[in-house]
Amino acid sequence: MPLFKHYSLQSINSFNVPALAAHYIPCTSLKDIEDFCATVYSTKKHFYILGEGTNTLFVGDFPGYILHIQLPGIEIIQETSHKVLIKAAAGVNWHKLVLFCVNRGYGGIENLSLISGTVGGAPVQNIGAYGVELKDVIHSIETIALATGKKIIFKPSECAFGYRTSIFKTKLRNQYIITGIVLALDKTAKFRLEYIDIQKKIEKMQLKQLSFKSISDAIIAIRQQKLPNPIMLGNAGSFFQNPLIPIEQYQLLKSQYPELVFFTTCNKKFIKISAAWLIETAGFKGFRQGNVGIYDLHALILVHYGGATGRDVINLANHIKQKVKNQFNITLIPEVNIVEP
Instruction: Give catalytic status of residue 223 as yes or no.
Output: no
Q: In what order do the strands lie in the sheet with 270-273?
A: 244-246, 270-273, 262-264
Give the separation between CA 136 and CA 245, rounded to whole angstroms: 24
Catalytic-role residue among 79, 158, 164, 311: 164
Q: How many residues does the chain have?
A: 341
Instruction: Give catalytic status of residue 52 as yes or no.
Output: no
Radius of gyration of the chain (CA): 20
Catalytic-role residue among 113, 133, 238, 280: 238
Instruction: Give catalytic status of residue 335 as yes or no.
Output: yes
3-state helix, strand, coil in the chain (%, to 5): 30, 30, 40
Question: If we measure between CA atoms, which residue out of 98, 105, 142, 102 comes closest to residue 120?
Answer: 142
Q: Exposed, middle or buried, 306 (CB in 10 Å: 0-12/13-18/19+)? A: exposed
Q: Contact 97/55 with Cβ under 8 angstroms?
A: no
- How many degrees, rounded to 5, is the angle at CA 92 between CA 88 and CA 94? 90
The 10 Å CB-count burial string (b at 16+, else e) for 210-226 is eebbbbbbbbbbbbeee
Give the separation between CA 58 and CA 43, rounded to whole angstroms: 24
Residues 6+ apart with CB under 8 A from 253: 245, 260, 273, 328
SS3 78: strand
DSSP-assigned letters across all residues of 42-72: GGT--EEEESSSTTEEE-S-EEEEEEEE---
Residues known to be catalytic: 164, 238, 335
